[in-house]
Structure 1
Amino acid sequence: MNLIVEQNAARWYKEQMDLSEGDSLRIFVRLGGCGSVHPGLSLGITKDEPRNAGLSQQVEGIFFYMEEDNVWYVENKELRISFDEKYEEVKMVVA
Structure 2
Amino acid sequence: MKLTVEQAAAKWYKDGMELRDGDHLRIFVRLGGCGSVHPGLSLGVMKDDPLRPGLSQRVEGITFYMEEDNLWYLDNKELRISFDDKHEEIIMKVV
- TM-score calculated relative to the size of structure 2: 0.99
Distance 1:53 1:85 in 2: 30
* Percent identity over paired residues: 72
Distance 2:14 2:25 in 1: 10
Q: Which runs of 5+ in 2 are unaligned?
A: none
Q: Which runs of 5+ in 1 are unaligned?
A: none
Distance 2:58 2:74 in 1: 18
Aligned to 1:62: 62
Aligned-residue RMSD, C-alpha: 0.4
Report whether the alignment pairs 1:79 with 2:79.
yes
Give, as a single letter, the amino acid of the residue that structure 1 aligns with 2:86. K
Report the number of matched residues: 95
Aligned to 2:48: 48
Runs of 4+ in 1 over 4 A off after TM superposition: none
Give, as a single letter, the amino acid of the residue that structure 2 aligns with 1:21. D
- Deviation for aligned residue 1:58: 0.3
- TM-score calculated relative to the size of structure 1: 0.99
- Deviation for aligned residue 1:76: 1.5
SS in 2 for 1:34: coil
